[in-house]
Structures are given as structure tokens and as C-alpha cells.
Amino acid sequence: MAQSYLALGYFLDLIGRLKVATFVELGIHVGGMAAIMSNCERFADWDYSYLGVEINPGLIHLKVKKHAHLIIGDCFDKEVVNAIKGFVHTRGSPAVIYCDNGEKRKEVIIYEPILRSGDFIYAHDYGTEILDEDIAFLYETCDRLDLTDLIEAKVVGFRKR
């Protein structure tokens, strides 16, 4: 399922309200969300950076390829994980990691440890591709966000304590 306008609006509000420093999107596919989130770099009056990760460069729209910071590779490869960790840790807080690559449970398990206190992790397709039992371990280190208004967008999110 593609991103809904509701979810896009939520993330734009979050970026602006909390002055999010870093937005990492795992699995950008064609790049609809990437086109919007990467353009925040042009309009933010603070240090904001977007990074998109996609394994199949043939899927990504040409305009997104030209304007967004991208890693072409598998988000599960150790080099890619380390590159994302470096990207997040060399920028300000808070950071957002948005898991939408297709194996959300695995993405959350791998990328939650990268988070610093105050950073966020979200997963798309909640209720279908990622379930409560897949994210139960997050309660040990994170607080679940009330995303009742995003129920139809199928997004679940946590903030690291």
C-alpha cells in the first residue's frame, strides 16, 4: 500500500514541530514519500537531512534520483546498516527511521538499536505486514506513540526513551 496523504501530513507536521534533523526511509520504491521528505531540506530553517534506501534503482523516479540523498542497496547489508548508523549519528536529534522495505519486523529489530534517546522509529503496513507481537520488544526501550488518527494509514510508531 502506498503512503496516504494523512501519513504524509503527519510526518510533515512532526518534522516541522519537533525540528526533526534526520529522516531515513527504508524502501522508497518509486519515491513518492522521498520526493516530499527530501524537499524539506530546501524549506527547513534548521539542519534537516533526508536519506532514502532502495535496493532496486530501476523503481525510483528520475526526479527523486536527482534530488534526494539515496543509498542504493539492501537495508539488511551490514555496510548499509553502518552507513545509516553513521548518517543518523553525525546529525542532530531527533531522527526518524521509517521502515517500509517489506520486512518490517526485521527492519525494526535491526534499526531500533541505532536510535538515540528521543529518536523515532515507525513501521508502515501495521496490522498486515507488522503485528503487535513483532514489535512487543520495543516496549523495553521505547514509548509507543498514540497514532489513533493514523489508524487508516496503517502506521505504528515509537520514541526511544
Q: Does domain 5-160 have CATH number 3.40.50.150?
A: yes
| Cell numbers found for residue 124 | 508502515
Predicted model pTM: 0.94
Phi, psi of 130 (to 5 degrees): -140, 130
What percentage of the chain reaches a pLDDT higher than 90? 83
CB 161 within 8 A of CB 143: yes
Structural domain boundaries of the chain?
Answer: 5-160
Positive/negative CA dihedral, 2, 27, 39, 43: positive
pLDDT, residue 3, reads 72
CB 83 within 8 A of CB 110: no
Confidence class for position 84, pLDDT limits 50, 70, 90:
very high
Q: For residue 1, is pLDDT > 70?
A: no
Positive/negative CA dihedral, 65, 70, 71, 75: negative
Q: For residue 38, is pLDDT > 80?
A: yes
Q: Average pLDDT of 116-140? A: 95
Phi, psi of 146 (to 5 degrees): -80, 105
| Cell numbers found for residue 35 | 520526493
